[in-house]
């Protein structure tokens, strides 16, 4: 049996004609739907004229109302361009496909007669790149990689750190207004501006307003005793003494340089400070009655001594110490001094699945659960919430998440004491609840003002010193209007806004936020994946972060890919394969944010390396098919 080539050609031509009809009709539907959507935003654009980015976003939103999977398959089978890469230039993509179909089905059709859409196929990507440079400045080196780094407090006095960050590839510095203060921020900015001049690289400064940080409250403290632990090998032999810092009551410069920020610190009187020298010994009796001593190692500054204890001990607050000669520890009448007072560690509040947890007002100090001698619950564990009158906004059955989703619970009852939660999602070993950890109420209308009182004070500073404003927990276009009005009051209408998408409501309202903003204000979007994962769940986040990237590309709005990028390197110096895969995915964003950590320079170097490699293979969703060398 033989095939008739003429018959096959006829079938192919009929397929192309049908595709042409469908895509032409699709284009008409898209333009009409887009026009209807844009009507409500006309007052937000100069003279009521929509820019190319707004038009393209409206076209993209209209396009994505349809299920195009079957059409995509048929286009691919016909060997034609996919609509799956149309984000940046929707009409141009459709017109290109329509033009090809017309040429294939109509011998009289001339390409010159084609009426292309106003923006060319590459114009959308050009606009996106232009907006990225406007926000984050020019690229460093030969790559198109923007790296944002959250600054640690030591960036205020460690100028060499700022120089190294810029040299490694930081193009934008993030100052988190939830931490430190205006004095520290000013020093950070001064170091950045100095470094820019010295090495000839531009670094934008993002000041990230904290927003309404809903967090866990204080926890009751245990006895003021601190366990100093030595490091032992597998045989139990001490291989490293327990270090600590001895400080005068009023140190003149911040301690913690050279990797000592996490060491336990004890104040000492000036009289003792003046007597100390390397190799001096301070004898004392610990909380168990054990005789121990500190060895003075070296002076870290004029006010800070590094000391160590060669044996593990339980150091009591205001413990008496005896200054011993360096060569002996048994002097008959050594000079005696008292160490400063310090607080005990917070009590341990650990909860397991199906446990009860009482969420109280912030003035109630948190405590662990209490049991009788038969292990019967007397009083459930409780922890305060920094949001006042929160329980009046909650309803029974609503979810509550604590500490970036480590603990999930549901409201079981509302009482005079607060909200009684039933823990329903937690790891099998339980979770320790600590103070100052985030609390999320994903299904609760909290009715908070877009900016807190602290945000408004911080905004005064930021309008004078920052290049970008980070807007935390923005959820609606009304929130954007509120911030833009505050910027106008401070004569800072040209200051770009980075809208942080952190909640389920913000995801739902993102098209409204973008279309209502880009006609009158410079905008960037941060995908705050940590809070989003809590609100949406990790599986849903994997899908949503893709959709957010597509939506912002359609609007030519730059995206910052944030939260836990190469976190293991930055914090521990450890390379994690899954995190490198995540970093490789970040190449589809315009900027990637790294959080602070002791190994942040290694993290920047690794990020820039992987992103440059990935950019050779891919631009957004478009595979560039670089030659493979196997």
Looking at the predicted structure, is the pLDDT value of residue 119 above 50?
no
Q: Cβ-count burial of 271 within 10 angstroms (0-12 exposed, 13-18 middle, 19+ buried)?
A: exposed
Among candidate residues 584, 513, 496, 583, the one with its CA nearest the CA of residue 172:
496
**CA atoms of 455 and 463, how far apart (whole Å):** 12
pLDDT more than 70, % of the chain: 90
Looking at the predicted structure, is the pLDDT value of residue 131 above 70?
yes
pLDDT digits (tens, 9 = 90+) for 479-515: 999 999 999 999 999 999 999 999 889 999 999 999 9
* CATH code reported for the domain at 127-212+448-620: 3.20.20.60
Banded pLDDT at 532 (limits 50, 70, 90): confident
**CA atoms of 449 and 455, how far apart (whole Å):** 11
The least confident of 187-196, 356-365, 533-542 is 533-542
Q: Token digits for 367? A: 């405590």
**CA atoms of 387 and 440, how far apart (whole Å):** 11
**CA atoms of 120 and 125, how far apart (whole Å):** 10
**Contact status, residue 606 vs residue 145, Cβ threshold 8 Å:** no
**CA atoms of 338 and 112, how far apart (whole Å):** 92
Banded pLDDT at 588 (limits 50, 70, 90): confident
Phi and psi at 611, nearest 5°, equal: -75, -40
219 or 530: which leads in pLDDT: 219
At 573 the pLDDT is 82
186 or 302: which leads in pLDDT: 186
Banded pLDDT at 111 (limits 50, 70, 90): low
At 262 the pLDDT is 72
At 302 the pLDDT is 86
H-helix segments, 108-204: 123-136, 159-168, 182-199
Looking at the predicted structure, is the pLDDT value of residue 190 above 80?
yes
pLDDT digits (tens, 9 = 90+) for 10-20: 667 788 889 99
Mean pLDDT of 462-467: 97
The least confident of 325-329, 571-575, 610-614 is 325-329
Mean pLDDT of 201-221: 94
Residue carrying structure tokens 């950019």: 615
Cα-Cα end-to-end distance for the chain: 43
**CA atoms of 418 and 4, how far apart (whole Å):** 80
At 611 the pLDDT is 82
Q: CA-CA distances (angstroms) from residue 404 to 106, 216, 527?
A: 59, 12, 15
**Contact status, residue 472 vs residue 500, Cβ threshold 8 Å:** yes
Angle at the Cα of 108 from the Cα atoms of 105 and 111, rounded to 5 degrees: 85
At 447 the pLDDT is 86
599 or 143: which leads in pLDDT: 599
Mean pLDDT for the chain? 88
Taking CB atoms within 8 Å and a gap of at least 24, the contacts of 36-43 are 37/61, 37/62, 37/515, 38/515, 41/515, 41/516, 41/519
453-465 vs 477-489: helix crossing angle, rounded to 10: 60
At 118 the pLDDT is 44
**Contact status, residue 50 vs residue 518, Cβ threshold 8 Å:** no
H-helix segments, 516-629: 529-536, 538-554, 567-572, 577-585, 600-615
89: DSSP letter: -
446 or 172: which leads in pLDDT: 172
The least confident of 119-123, 225-229, 561-565 is 119-123
b vs e for 84-111, b when ≥16 Cβ sit within 10 Å of the residue's Cβ?
Answer: eebbbbbbbbbbbbbbbbbebbeeeeee
Residue carrying structure tokens 């609100």: 535
pLDDT digits (tens, 9 = 90+) for 278-296: 999 999 999 999 999 999 9
Phi and psi at 588, nearest 5°, equal: -80, -10
**Contact status, residue 499 vs residue 532, Cβ threshold 8 Å:** no
Q: CA-CA distances (angstroms) from residue 521 to 418, 450, 485, 511, 514?
A: 42, 18, 11, 15, 10
Looking at the predicted structure, is the pLDDT value of residue 144 above 80?
no
Among candidate residues 11, 121, 122, the one with its CA nearest the CA of residue 77:
11
Strand order in the sheet with 356-361: 381-385, 356-361, 418-425, 407-414, 399-402, 439-440
At 559 the pLDDT is 95
**CA atoms of 602 and 527, how far apart (whole Å):** 23
H-helix segments, 169-308: 182-199, 270-275
Q: Could you say which of 2.60.40.10, 3.20.80.10, 2.40.33.10, 2.40.50.140 is the CATH number of the domain covering 225-338?
A: 2.40.33.10
Looking at the predicted structure, is the pLDDT value of residue 297 above 60?
yes
Q: CA-CA distances (angstroms) from residue 317 to 309, 314, 536?
A: 16, 10, 45
b vs e for 213-252, b when ≥16 Cβ sit within 10 Å of the residue's Cβ?
Answer: ebbbbbbeeeebbbebebeeeeeeeeeebbbbbbbbeebe
Banded pLDDT at 140 (limits 50, 70, 90): confident
At 577 the pLDDT is 80
Q: CA-CA distances (angstroms) from residue 380 to 91, 103, 430, 433?
A: 60, 75, 15, 13
**CA atoms of 158 and 190, how far apart (whole Å):** 11
**Contact status, residue 400 vs residue 441, Cβ threshold 8 Å:** yes
Top-level class of domain 349-440: mainly beta
pLDDT digits (tens, 9 = 90+) for 241-263: 999 999 987 555 554 445 556 78
Residues 6+ away with beta carbon under 8 Å from 295: 241, 279, 280, 281, 307, 308, 309, 310
At 529 the pLDDT is 87
349-440 shares the fold of 225-338: yes
**CA atoms of 305 and 121, how far apart (whole Å):** 65
The CA R_g of the chain, rounded to the nearest whole Å, is 31
Give domain limits for the chain.
5-121, 127-212+448-620, 225-338, 349-440
311: DSSP letter: S
Strand partners, 618: 623
pTM of the model: 0.81
At 39 the pLDDT is 94
Looking at the predicted structure, is the pLDDT value of residue 596 above 60?
yes
Mean pLDDT of 9-32: 87
pLDDT digits (tens, 9 = 90+) for 63-101: 999 988 888 888 888 887 678 788 889 999 899 888 888
At 507 the pLDDT is 93
């Amino acid at each position: 049996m033989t095939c008739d080539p003429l018959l096959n050609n006829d079938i192919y031509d009929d397929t192309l004609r049908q595709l042409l009809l469908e895509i032409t009709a699709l284009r008409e539907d898209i333009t009409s739907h887009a026009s209807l959507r844009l009507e409500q935003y006309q007052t937000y654009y100069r003279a009521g004229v929509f820019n190319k980015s707004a038009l393209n976003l409206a076209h993209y939103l209209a396009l994505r109302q349809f299920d195009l999977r079957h059409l995509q398959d048929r286009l691919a089978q016909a060997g034609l361009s996919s609509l799956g890469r149309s984000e940046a230039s929707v009409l141009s993509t459709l017109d290109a496909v329509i033009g090809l179909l017309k040429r294939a089905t109509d011998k009289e059709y001339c390409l010159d007669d084609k009426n292309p859409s106003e923006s060319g196929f590459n114009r959308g990507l050009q606009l996106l790149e232009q907006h990225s440079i406007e926000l984050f400045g020019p690229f460093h080196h030969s790559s198109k990689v923007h790296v944002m780094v959250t600054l640690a407090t030591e960036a205020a006095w460690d100028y060499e750190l700022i120089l190294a960050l810029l040299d490694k590839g930081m193009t934008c510095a993030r100052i988190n207004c939830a931490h430190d203060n205006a004095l520290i921020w000013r020093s950070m900015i001064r170091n950045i501006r100095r470094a820019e001049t010295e090495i000839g690289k531009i670094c934008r400064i993002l000041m990230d307003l904290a927003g309404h940080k809903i967090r866990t409250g204080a926890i009751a403290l245990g006895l003021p005793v601190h366990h100093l632990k030595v490091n032992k090998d597998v045989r139990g032999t001490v291989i490293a003494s327990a270090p600590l810092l001895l400080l005068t009551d009023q140190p003149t410069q911040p301690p913690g340089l050279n990797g000592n920020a996490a060491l336990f610190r004890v104040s000492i009187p000036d009289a003792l400070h003046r007597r100390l020298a390397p190799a001096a010994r301070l004898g004392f009796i610990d909380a168990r009655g054990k005789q121990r001593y500190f060895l003075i190692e070296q002076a870290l500054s004029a006010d800070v001594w590094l000391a160590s204890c060669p044996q593990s001990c339980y150091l009591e607050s205001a413990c008496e110490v005896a200054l011993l000669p360096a060569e002996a520890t048994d002097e008959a009448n050594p000079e005696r001094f008292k160490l400063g007072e310090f607080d005990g560690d917070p009590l341990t509040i650990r909860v397991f699945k199906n446990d009860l947890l009482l969420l109280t007002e912030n003035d109630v100090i948190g405590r662990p659960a209490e049991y009788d001698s038969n292990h019967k619950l007397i009083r459930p564990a409780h922890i305060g919430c920094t949001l006042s009158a929160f329980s009046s906004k909650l309803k029974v059955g609503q979810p509550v998440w604590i500490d970036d989703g480590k603990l999930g619970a549901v409201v079981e009852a509302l009482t005079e004491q607060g909200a009684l939660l039933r823990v329903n999602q937690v790891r099998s070993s339980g979770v320790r609840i600590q103070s100052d950890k985030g609390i999320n109420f994903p299904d609760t209308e909290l009715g908070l003002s877009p900016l807190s009182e602290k945000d408004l004070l911080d905004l005064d500073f930021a309008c004078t010193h920052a290049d970008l404003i980070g807007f935390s927990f923005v959820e609606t276009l009304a929130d954007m209007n509120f911030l833009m009005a505050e910027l106008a009051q401070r004569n800072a209408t040209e200051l770009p806004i980075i809208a942080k998408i952190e909640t389920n409501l913000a995801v739902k309202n993102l098209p409204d936020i973008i279309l209502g903003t880009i006609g009158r204000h410079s905008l960037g979007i941060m995908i705050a994946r940590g809070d989003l994962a809590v609100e949406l769940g990790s599986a849903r986040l994997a899908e949503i972060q893709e959709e957010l990237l597509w939506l912002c590309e359609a609007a030519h709005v730059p995206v910052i890919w944030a939260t836990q990028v190469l976190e293991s390197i930055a914090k521990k110096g450890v390379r994690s394969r899954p995190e490198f895969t995540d970093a490789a995915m970040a190449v589809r964003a315009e900027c990637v944010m790294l959080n602070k950590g002791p190994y942040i320079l290694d993290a920047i170097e690794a990020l820039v390396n992987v992103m440059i490699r990935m950019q050779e293979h891919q631009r957004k969703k478009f595979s560039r098919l670089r030659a493979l060398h196997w």
